[in-house]
Each structure stands twice: as C-alpha cells, then as structure tokens.
Structure 1
Amino acid sequence: MTIGETELSTSRVFDVPRELVFRAWTTPELLARWWGPHGITNTFHECNIKPGGTWKFTMHGPDGVDYPNHNEFVEIVPLERIVLDHLSGHEFRITASFEDLDGRTNVTFRQRFKIKEEFEKAKPYCVEGNEQNLDRLGELLTEMAS
C-alpha cells in the first residue's frame, strides 16, 4: 500500500488470467459478490458498465447500517483498465489497472480523493477496506478458476 497526499494505491497479483479478473469487474452479478470490505453485502440498483454509465448500489454492513453509493464509469479499456468516479459522500476516483504476467494478473487499485480533508477522514478505514476488497476479489477469482 502506498499512501500519497490524496491517494491510496495497492497492488495484488492473482494466479488467474486477466480475462477472468476483467470479467469479475465487469459482470454485475460477480461484482456484487466481492465489492467492499469483509462482511459487506451489496444490492445493485443500476449498473451500466460503460463510459458515462451509472452504478448505484447499497452496501449493507454487518452491523445493519446501509451505505448508499453512486458512481459513474469514466473509462473502460477491455482487459487493461477501469476508471470510475465515486460521487456520493466523499468524492474520489478509482482506477483499476490489469497487467498480464504470463497468465497471472497484477491488479493495481488506486483511489484518489478530490479534497484532501475528505481523504484524511476516509483514509483510516479505506486503507484496510481496500485490502479487504482485494481479498474478496481473490476469493471469487479462485472460485471462478476452479
């Protein structure tokens, strides 16, 4: 994990081809299964995965608290990159990059906040939450590969 002035960045190598990783990011039914930290479940209301497409969903915390989310997809480069803007609450941009490593995939997950003060408030839970998000992606990828 790298922590910048308004950005968190983390990478993880998965033992699956990037086609599988890209599918996990671009298939709403799969995305709903792994998105968010441990204990979170999701209800997707709208998920239009294309540039300019809207992604509205509610994250349900294990404590019963609901977290409404509104995102917009900015860029989709098949097998290479997905960029989306989180527009509800703290505003930030997520850039997920997928690098082929001879059949394995390096995923780089960058989260850049618009406002430094909001970054400072969110940083304590985003650092661990982003790692847990990639843990959950890894669990799904293992299941998909078998």
Structure 2
Amino acid sequence: MASASTAVSEPEEERTVAIERLVSAPRAVVFDAFTNVDHLSAWWGPDGFTTTTRAFEFREGGVWEFTMRGPDGTVYAEWIQWRTIVAPERIVLLHGEYAGDPNAFDSVFTFDEVGEETRVTLTTVFPTKQLRDTAVEEYHAVEGGTQTLAHLAAHVEA
C-alpha cells in the first residue's frame, strides 16, 4: 500500500473518479433525499444492494454508520462523516469502513440547477492511485456509482 507521502506526490486526477447524472427533479428535492435516513436508505447503493442504518446524524461532523448487503449476501460495514453541507448545493463527506479507516476517501456531491432538472456530480478522491484503481477494477466503483445515482434519480422522480 502507498504511504501518505506517495498520495501527496500522486496527481489528484490520478486518484479521482467522477460520475454525473441529470435528474428530473428540482435541486431542493434531490438534496433532501440525503437529509432523511429513510430516503437515503431507500436509494443508496448499487443494483441489488440493501442498506441498514445503525446511526445517522445529518449535520457537519455528524456520522452515518450503516451496513450494505450485496446480492450474494456479503455484508459490508460502512461509515460516513458529513464534512461540509451547503444546502441545497453541495455535500462533502469522508467515506470508509469505520472511523479512522486509513483507506477512507473524500467524496463531493454537487447539485446544479439545469432548468427544472438537477445535475448531480459525484467526485471521489482516493488517498492513493492504487486505492482508486482497486475501487474501479475490483469493486466496480464507476458502475456502482452510476447505479447509485440512477437509484437516487428513480427515488426522487417517483
């Protein structure tokens, strides 16, 4: 695994995954889907995954602790700390398996008005290029992120 000093020397674009989706709903409605755990749990995750929340506090510094169960029954521990919340424009979070996870990554969701629709952009920056490549190649981060934003769209468009 690369050290923290390696991450500093690796260009951010080599450690980044960005995904975008145009959602047919007003920005405030799309943003609100993050603020309520019942909504969030209904759409969060790739195809075939379910989400079970253990703790949730949507505020800067607050934490969302949850598990995701994959289609094959595998259970994944998940931990998110909400870093920055600028309603209804932007959410910055730290995402790992647990508090203090050295492999945790930063994600930024932006919500831009496009007429009566909302462009949601998810930009994730991993600590190292190796962690990014593993997420993309082994865990299908691009496909999973695309599916997750599709679930968000279906949830708010319903």
Please report the TM-score for the alignment, with normalisation by the length of structure 2.
0.85
Task: Give how far 1:70 is off.
Answer: 1.0
Residue type of the alignment partner of 1:24: A
Residue 45 of structure 1: which of 54, 58, 72 is its match?
A: 54
- Equivalent of 1:97, from 110, 131, 144? 110
1:60-71 counterparts in 2 under 5 A?
60-71=69-80
- Residues 91 and 115 of structure 1 are in contact (CA less than 8 Å); yes or no, is this contact kept in structure 2? no
Distance apart, 1:59 and its partner CA:
0.2
SS in 2 for 1:20: helix
Whether 2:119 is the aligned partner of 1:110: answer no
User: In 2, distance between residues paired with 1:38 and 1:97?
Assistant: 22
Identity of aligned residues (%): 35
Structure of larger gyration radius = 2
1:141 to partner: Cα distance: 1.3
Deviation at 1:102, TM superposition (A): 2.2
Give yes or no for the alignment of 1:138 onto 2:138.
no
Unpaired runs of at least 5, structure 1? none
The CA RMSD over aligned residues, in Å, is 1.4
SS class of match (1:63): coil
Q: CA deviation at 1:26?
A: 1.3
Structure-2 separation of matches of 1:105 and 1:48: 25
Aligned residues: 141
Mapped contact 1:73–1:85 kept (Cα < 8 A): yes
Q: Distance in 2 between matches of 1:49 and 1:91?
A: 19
Counterpart-to-counterpart distance in 2, 1:63 and 1:134: 21
Shift of 1:49: 0.8
Residue 6 of structure 1 contacts residue 112 of structure 1 at CA under 8 Å; is this kept in 2?
A: yes
List alignment gaps of at least 5 residues for structure 2.
1-12
For residues 110-144 of structure 1, the C-alpha deviation after alignment (integer angstroms, 9 at most, x for no partner) is 1110122111111121011110111111110121x
Q: TM-score, normalised by structure 1?
A: 0.92
CA contact (8 A) 2:21 2:150 kept: no
Structure 1 segments (4+ residues) deviating >6 Å: none
SS at match of 2:14: coil
Amino acid at match of 1:132: Q
> Matched residue of 1:5: which SS?
helix
Q: Secondary structure in 2 aligned to 1:32?
A: helix
